[in-house]
Amino acid sequence: MTVNEIKDEISIVICGEAGQGIQTVESLLIDALKSAGFYIFCTKEYMSRVRGGANSVQIRVSEKPVSAYIKRTDILIPLIKEAVEHLGERISKETFIIQEDFSGEAKKLGDTVYSNVIAASTLAVLFGINREFFYNLVEKRFSKKGEEVVQKNKEAANKGFEIGGKLSLEIEIKIQPKADKNDTLINGAQAVAMGALAGGCNFIAAYPMTPSTGVFTYLASQEHEFGIVVEQAEDEISAMNMNLGAWYAGARGLVSTAGGGFDLMTEGLSLAGITETPIVIHLGQRPGPATGLPTRTEQGDLNIALYSGHGEFPKIILTPGNLEDAFYLTQKAFNLADKYQVPVFVLTDQFLVDSYYNIKPFDLSNVQNQHFFKETGMEYKRYQMTENGISPRGIPQFGEGLICVDSDEHDESGHITESQAVRMSMNNKRLSKIDMIKGEVFPPELIGSRDYKTLLIGWGSTYLIIKEAIERLGRDDLGFLYFKLVYPLHDSIVDYIKKAEKTIIIENNATSQFGKLIARETGLVIKDAILKYDGLPFSVEEIMQRVSNG
């Protein structure tokens, strides 16, 4: 039989328990498929446990670029008997289930650990990947563990090739490798972390928390190469305050956290607000309240980003929806924070940070950084009143001036004041920056029909899913407006909405937080919403169906 009616793509799902090593299968297989020149999209859903349970990874292999989660499963490798039940509607009559006893075969080789390589090579052979090519990958991966481990895994690969060889009599996969082998395959966490490096990030103090840890880990892996100061703080309060100290002294700091950790940082965020200390916050969302669903995805923290920190002060919220935006926006975040002396959020979620696909290597030719701090003279005042509301930011030891910042309301020189007149002028100065920032806000992107009757609105990680859904629907009355910067909101939204006969907002949360922000900012109430808050991302099919049902 030939799996898959689309013919140019296959969706593989591997389902196993935590600790069984499906991550090894995933990384070996995507490494093999990508190196062989296939387009790949890979995402995972997993439980908050180290052993047991049921986790799964989806790998889409295609002749064309793929970058969204789909419900359809063409091939399933169930490493546990609960797999089919766990995956539910993702498995259909058309799903080809590979019922091999990988762990039994692995035991014959001496250890169940080999089942991962057997499973990966079984699949690899179905895609025409040859033995020598796969051997190379095995060597690359296991060479540090010694010759014996490499040999054992090559034997495991042989077993997989034997199983795959037999299976290829039953399944015929026709898709061809058409991707550029120079493409890069990274996930959202790496894209954010690389973007931070590109933005001159040289300091990170953070506290581990899913799903933000990947960014922290990646920057730590580059600590030596790029000379970054990396510190695991005792808590998020400390992480935030350390970063503010670092920015004060001229570093470019990043905090990476999730909702619960960010709650602890909000006091420090407010400090950033009044001291006008720049800060970049990577906030990886997961479902709350409290610990919620620790390893799942949601867009539930827009409100906390928007309203966090006591008092009134401006901030910027970036919401990348693909790997390029995750990279370029994070890079830009450091320059925006430095320029306007405000907190800048890079709001992602578990789905985005954990998803991989092929992209062209990031183009650095137009990536530029600008330091906005100034050399100071003896008469320097940190909060000097200026025409545009931005007081030049000095750095200790850079010039002769003294850099005095205070969490109390302060005068131009940074000293505590209770003068109402000074309070008013300082508060106005800080708040006036939002109008200046508005001048720099990039507009939302319209995808689909320019002559839309129905307008879909989305932000952040739903972007690629909605985009594929409307491409597949192929309706000329559908437009999709993607926001990668949700605050301050771009004025063009009003015209976009007014032009539509019907507007539907799509959000991975229960209360349409972005819809409410739009209503607050524009007075336009969007009544139709497609919302999802079960901890999983939308699938392309689900968007297609729910949009079609109106």
List residues near another protein by CB under 8 A.
182, 184, 194, 197-200, 202-203, 205, 222-229, 231, 233-235, 237-246, 248-253, 267-268, 271, 275, 327, 361-362, 364, 367, 369, 371, 373, 395-398, 400-408, 414-416
- Residues 543 and 71: beta-carbon distance below 8 Å: no
**Type of residue found at 345:** F
Q: How far is the CB of 223 from another protein (least distance, A)?
A: 5
Q: How far is the CB of 318 from another protein (least distance, A)?
A: 19
**Complex with another protein: residue 241 or 348, whichever CB lies closer:** 241
**Complex with another protein: residue 14 or 326, whichever CB lies closer:** 326
Q: How far is the CB of 339 from another protein (least distance, A)?
A: 16
**Complex with another protein: residue 227 or 289, whichever CB lies closer:** 227
**Complex with another protein: residue 172 or 408, whichever CB lies closer:** 408
Q: How far is the CB of 418 from another protein (least distance, A)?
A: 10
**Complex with another protein: residue 6 or 405, whichever CB lies closer:** 405
Q: Give the CA radius of gyration of the chain.
A: 25
Three-state SS for 394?
strand
| Structure tokens given for 87 | 């995956």
Q: How far is the CB of 400 from another protein (least distance, A)?
A: 6
- Give just the sign of the alpha carbon dihedral 209, 212, 216, 217: positive
What DSSP line would sit under 57-100, residue for residue? EEEEEESS---S--S--SEEEESSTTHHHHHGGG--TTPEE---
**Integer CA distances (angstroms), 488 to 208, 244, 429, in order:** 29, 23, 17
Residue found by looking up tokens 């990348």 in the block: 320
Q: How far is the CB of 264 from another protein (least distance, A)?
A: 11
39-45 and 356-359 beta bridge pairing? antiparallel
CA separation for the pair 427, 420 (Å, rounded): 10
CA separation for the pair 131, 219 (Å, rounded): 35
**Complex with another protein: residue 88 or 227, whichever CB lies closer:** 227
Q: How far is the CB of 299 from another protein (least distance, A)?
A: 27
**Complex with another protein: residue 167 or 402, whichever CB lies closer:** 402
Q: How far is the CB of 235 from another protein (least distance, A)?
A: 6
528-531 and 502-507 beta bridge pairing? parallel
CA separation for the pair 538, 243 (Å, rounded): 35
**Complex with another protein: residue 243 or 513, whichever CB lies closer:** 243
- Residues 121 and 153: beta-carbon distance below 8 Å: no
**Complex with another protein: residue 225 or 451, whichever CB lies closer:** 225
Phi-psi region of 545 (alpha: psi -120 to 50; beta: other; left: phi over 0): alpha
Q: How far is the CB of 14 from another protein (least distance, A)?
A: 28
**Complex with another protein: residue 118 or 242, whichever CB lies closer:** 242
CB atoms within 10 A of CB 71: 19
| Structure tokens given for 167 | 């299976």
Q: How far is the CB of 207 from another protein (least distance, A)?
A: 11
**Integer CA distances (angstroms), 140 to 28, 32, 162, 234, in order:** 10, 11, 22, 36
